[in-house]
Amino acid sequence: MITIIKREILEHLQSLQFVILIVLSILLFSTNGWVTVKKHHERMTRYSDAVTQVAREPSTVQTSLFMHPNPLVLLADGGSEYQPPGYTLGPKGKLNTMPAGPENFKMPAGPELDWAFIIKVVFSLYVLLLAFRGISGEKEAGTLRLVLSYALQRSKLLMSKYISILLTVAIPLVLGALVSLCIVSIFIPEAFSLSIVPRIGLMILLAFFYLSIFAFLGLFVSSTVSRSSVVLLILLAAWILLVVVVPNVSGILSNKLAHVPSEYQTAARVSPILQEQVWGRIDKVKERVKRGELTTEEAIKKETDQAFEEGQEVVRNHYAVYENAMKRRADVARNLSRLSPTALFQYASESLADTGPGCEGRFLEDAKTYSATYDSYVLQKVGRLVGTSYWSFSTDIRLDGKNIFITSPSPQEYQGDKSDFPRFAESAPDLARNMQETFLDLAGLSLWNLISAAMAFWAIWRCDVR
Amino acid sequence: MLKAIVQREILEYLKSSKFLIGLCLTVVLVGMSTFVNIGDYQQRRQDYLDATQNLTEDFGVKIFRKPQILSTLVQGRDRELGSQVDISYLRLPMQTSGYMGEFASQHHRYVSGFTSVDFAFVVRVVLSLMVIFLAYNSISEEMAQGTLRLVLANALPRGQLLFGKFIGGLFIILGCLTIAILVAVLVMVLHPAILLDRETSLRILGMWVISALYLGVFFTLSLLVSTIFNRPSIGLLVLLQVWIVVIVIYPNVSVILSRHLMVLPSREELEDRKRALFEPYERQYKETVEAFQKMVESNEIDLEPSRKNLEVNAQRTELYHRIDGEYSRQLTRQMLFARNIGLLSPSVLYDSVIQRLTGTDIREFDKFMEGVERHWYKDTERAKLMYTDYKAYQEYKMPEFTYTTQSVTESIVSTLPQWIVLFLLSAVFFAGAHAVFMKKSIR
């Protein structure tokens, strides 16, 4: 078996595919390192400036919480450009996302050149290119009959081919990864600590776990079909479906499966809700004033404050319902795309790198914890908690022939010393938790490995070597 | 003789499993993606129509962006760019938002990460691969089997054989492309939400031509590689490496390169520029706004402070928009720079032409925003009338929002260099294949 593995590796190393893969790998991984360095520098500068600004100008009206830039976008970017740089936090836990989006919205949206992209697209294709002639090539050349005439089990032949493919791919993969890590560690040494070493190691293991599926698939088709060119055609069709079509088409399919009222429908309801929930309540206060139930300015303002707060809460919930429905739709899209091993690998990589939606979820938990501290600080300084709002309303109420100017309540700025302003601290990424998040994706990848391996073994046992 | 070669080639292609698999995949993908994209377009169009009717603004104007009908075949940027712009004398944004407005809308956030699968995608990825598969062994296979020697032993000029293979292959490729586009058109025609007019049909015809040119590049390249390498498997591997670089890697690298080579000013820099531009008017602005606020607080209505307040605010909005407009042009330049770097890739050329033809590119968006700017001036003039001639203000009918769209001819003319480059690439590859084949030793 070892002899076959050695022979196979030697053949692969001499092949054109391998040479090109080495060159591509070094080019792509070094570009990845270079891009990460630039991106991290820019994000760190923005983050430091923003955090300094918050510390310099603490506010009881609204504060800003920023996400610490993660250097592990190197492994899987996780759509970091579309993630908000942070959230604004007002009293009563009112969290609002900061504007997010790519720096240049006119630029075509392409995938980030991270490790996950290079492995899931380029390496998976090259594994197929190395595997497609594995059995069919030997059959065409007549050597398969010869090899199997020795006391060599077919399963051992298949395993040897499989191991040799993965070992061959390991060379450019590890080499490329080292190049990328060298660039990043030289230019941003502060971003690298011992804590990220296990994540990088796990990422490499995950890559092999993913590529193993394609090696088995390649050998399966190669054992089933006799002509190498047809094998390659079938494998490329499968590659297009698994790597390109399924992960992407699930986005638009989820629109059909997870019904969300369109953004227009949500927007169109805002005005009636404001009318009904805010002005309807204010009208009731006005009627009570007319009936003489409220006789002082203080009593009126107390009632209108409550009416504004309650009304605005309903509108906020209306927005939240839409936002949650959109998140659910995105989850449906992600779950649909999990039919493809490529999507499973992508999501597992994001969890390992602590990027993507999981990372934002952790940040939001921290923000919610901090909001309690912030609220008690505001309460201690200002004496009352008033939530921030998108809107401000004003009206007049007539009491005893005099107009009382009513405005919706807004938080107050404390004018005294704010040196004891509580600082927001983001919790450190937890590898155990991230591993838990990858469980579903790892299970999916295991299933894919199991099925493709079973198919490959079944195909080689039934293969007609004549 | 040429006819016999062409007929044989066509028959061989039709009998091959690669043709059948490629065609089935193409038909299924085009049919499904067009159907799904029509549903998406229908929803966006309905939202647009409802919004135009129902979403009005008490203060300022809301302008809505109409979805493009051909986004059902080429999504381009149509879906991801926003749908509305709110303008008033206080604001003139450089970017569209979703229907929920600039701050609440996160329309782009949840659709990111999933690129579109549409007709253009099928041609760019699936059909280009199929073409490579069909043609990678046109010459080398005959060479390997020894039939090339046999064929050329007859009184058949080499050029004629190559030309015959070219015509035969081209016939099959154009046939596949025609079937794909007919499937897409059929799905569109059968859907009640779609009405194809003459202009749209011409654009679809343009799409067919540019797709044919694009596929022609891969076909002639495959012919060239097939004449260079004697072993078909080596030829196929070379072509696949070229394909992955040209289709998958290079377009993304060009975007990354452009981002890092052409640096954009930061938000802070833009704010500084705005402050500097407005500085000479700052004092007058503050005085006018203070006077207006005093008037509001005193509850005494006076037209003059209101008029002046509107004028200084409109002036500020206009000056700020100069900076924003320049920034927007820089964004376009960066995007064009990425495209120019990517011109070596036929897929970038193809995308730029087909998106222009279908009106789903950034040029369409830029023209829309230019229309928004013109509309802002009209709206501001109307608002000023409120304080100068109230009767005229009431009688003033705001003209409907319009912007200049390109006709089919204009779209073709503006993308002519890309058409020419694609054609030249095909011509050069075919000439290369011819030159190599003429000198090739067939022993």
pLDDT in tens, B149-192: 777 777 778 888 888 889 998 999 999 999 999 999 999 999 88
Task: Please say if the pLDDT value at position B280 is more than 70.
Answer: yes
Distance between CA atoms of A17 and B237, rounded to whole angstroms? 7
B15 touches chain A (CB under 8 A): no
Chain B residues closer than 8 Å to A266 by CB: 99-100
Does residue B418 belong to any structural domain of this protein?
yes
Say how far residue B143 (Cα) sits from the centre of its chain: 42
What pLDDT does residue B354 have? Answer: 95
What pLDDT does residue A300 have? Answer: 87
What pLDDT does residue A112 have? Answer: 84
Average pLDDT over residues A105-123: 88
> Are B55 and A253 inside 8 Å of each other by CB?
no
> Are A35 and B241 inside 8 Å of each other by CB?
no
Query: How does residue B195 score in pLDDT terms, banded at 50, 70 and 90?
Result: confident
Average pLDDT over residues B3-31: 86
What pLDDT does residue A410 have? Answer: 83
Tell me the percentage of chain B whose pLDDT exceeds 70: 95
Chain A residues closer than 8 Å to B109 by CB: 82, 100-101, 326
What are the φ and ψ backbone dihedral angles of B216, each rounded to 5 degrees? -60, -35
pLDDT in tens, B374-384: 999 998 988 88
What pLDDT does residue A350 have? Answer: 93
Going by C-alpha positions, the residue among B200, B40, B345 that lies closest to residue A260 is: B40
Query: How does residue B124 score in pLDDT terms, banded at 50, 70 and 90?
Result: very high
Burial of B204 (0-12, 13-18, 19+ CB in 10 A): buried
End-to-end CA distance of chain A: 22
**pTM: predicted TM-score of the whole model, two decimal places:** 0.85
Q: Which residue of A has its CA nearest to B48?
A: A264
Residue B88 forms beta bridges with which residues? Answer: B91
Burial of A149 (0-12, 13-18, 19+ CB in 10 A): exposed
Distance between CA atoms of B226 and B242, rounded to whole angstroms? 14
What pLDDT does residue B105 have? Answer: 58
Average pLDDT over residues B355-360: 93
> Are A256 and B36 inside 8 Å of each other by CB?
yes
Average pLDDT over residues B23-31: 90
What pLDDT does residue B123 have? Answer: 94
Average pLDDT over residues A426-433: 86
Task: Please say if the pLDDT value at position B107 is more than 60.
Answer: no
This model of the complex carries an ipTM of: 0.84
pLDDT in tens, B62-91: 899 999 999 999 988 888 888 889 898 888
What pLDDT does residue A232 have? Answer: 84
Tell me the percentage of chain B whose pLDDT exceeds 90: 44
Residue B84 forms beta bridges with which residues? Answer: B64, B97
Task: Please say if the pLDDT value at position A405 is more than 80.
Answer: yes
Secondary structure of residue A347 in the 3-state scheme = helix
Nearest by CB to residue A113, choosing from B18, B54, B252, is B252
The DSSP 8-state label assigned to residue A99 in this structure reads P
Average pLDDT over residues A310-323: 85
What pLDDT does residue B112 have? Answer: 57
* Mean confidence (pLDDT) of chain A: 87
Nearest by CB to residue B80, choosing from A28, A109, A323, is A109
What pLDDT does residue B72 have? Answer: 93
Average pLDDT over residues B216-241: 89
Amino acid sitting at position A377: Y
> Are B232 and A229 inside 8 Å of each other by CB?
yes
Task: Please report where in the chains the tokens 């002509």 appear, as a residue.
Answer: A227
* Better-scored residue on pLDDT, B283 or A409: B283
Nearest by CB to residue B104, choosing from A255, A327, A390, is A390
DSSP calls for A106-134: TS-------HHHIIIIIIHHHHHHHHTTT
Does residue B281 belong to any structural domain of this protein?
no
What pLDDT does residue A453 have? Answer: 95
In chain A, % helix, strand, coil (3-state, to 5) comes to 70, 5, 25
Question: Which of A29, A53, A105, A266 is the best substitution to test chain B (most B C-beta atoms within 10 A)?
Answer: A105
Average pLDDT over residues B318-341: 93
Q: Which residue of A has its CA nearest to B23?
A: A237
Q: Which residue of B has its CA nearest to A251?
A: B114
Query: How does residue B372 score in pLDDT terms, banded at 50, 70 and 90?
Result: very high
B360 touches chain A (CB under 8 A): no
Query: How does residue A182 score in pLDDT terms, banded at 50, 70 and 90?
Result: very high
Question: Which of A106, A136, A274 is the best substitution to test chain B (most B C-beta atoms within 10 A)?
Answer: A106
What pLDDT does residue B248 have? Answer: 82
What pLDDT does residue B102 have? Answer: 65
B345 touches chain A (CB under 8 A): no
Give the number of domains in chain B.
1
Average pLDDT over residues B80-109: 79
CB B219 within 8 A of CB B169: yes
What pLDDT does residue B104 have? Answer: 61
> Are A263 and B114 inside 8 Å of each other by CB?
no
Strands B61-64 and A94-97: unpaired
Task: Please say if the pLDDT value at position A370 is more than 90.
Answer: yes
Q: How far is B165 from chain A (nearest CA, A)?
A: 20
Q: Which residue of A has its CA nearest to B51?
A: A264
Task: Please say if the pLDDT value at position B367 is more than 90.
Answer: yes
Task: Please say if the pLDDT value at position A150 is more than 70.
Answer: yes
Written as six digits, the tokens of B231 are 């072993």
In chain B, % helix, strand, coil (3-state, to 5) comes to 75, 0, 25
The DSSP 8-state label assigned to residue B202 in this structure reads H
Q: How large is the C-alpha radius of gyration of chain A?
A: 30
The residue segments making up the domain with residue B209 are 2-273+310-439
What pLDDT does residue B389 have? Answer: 83
Does residue B148 belong to any structural domain of this protein?
yes
Task: Kindly report which listed range (A356-365, B54-63, B231-240) carries the lowest average pLDDT score.
Answer: B54-63
Q: Which residue of B has its CA nearest to A327?
A: B110
Average pLDDT over residues B118-147: 87
Going by C-alpha positions, the residue among A189, A201, A138, A142 that lies closest to residue A11 is: A138
CA dihedral B48, B54, B57, B58 (to 10 degrees): 170
Query: How does residue B147 score in pLDDT terms, banded at 50, 70 and 90?
Result: confident
Task: Please say if the pLDDT value at position A122 is more than 80.
Answer: yes
CB B371 within 8 A of CB B400: no
CA distance readout (Å), B405 to B44, B206, B358, B370, B410: 19, 16, 11, 11, 9
Task: Please say if the pLDDT value at position A401 is more than 70.
Answer: yes
Average pLDDT over residues A17-29: 89
What pLDDT does residue B58 have? Answer: 63
247-306 in chain B: CB under 8 A from chain A: 248-249, 251-253, 255-256, 258-260, 264
Task: Kindly report which listed range (A123-132, A419-428, B54-63, B355-364) carries the lowest average pLDDT score.
Answer: B54-63
Does residue B302 belong to any structural domain of this protein?
no
pLDDT in tens, B252-274: 888 888 988 888 898 889 999 99
Chain B residues closer than 8 Å to A38 by CB: 260
Chain B residues closer than 8 Å to A233 by CB: 17-18, 21-22, 133
Task: Kindly report which listed range (A41-45, A115-119, A236-240) carries the lowest average pLDDT score.
Answer: A236-240
Does residue B296 belong to any structural domain of this protein?
no
Tell me the percentage of chain A whose pLDDT exceeds 70: 99
Does residue B139 belong to any structural domain of this protein?
yes
Does residue B285 belong to any structural domain of this protein?
no
pLDDT in tens, B421-431: 999 999 999 99
> Are B100 and A270 inside 8 Å of each other by CB?
yes
Q: Which residue of A has its CA nearest to B355?
A: A108
Does residue B196 belong to any structural domain of this protein?
yes
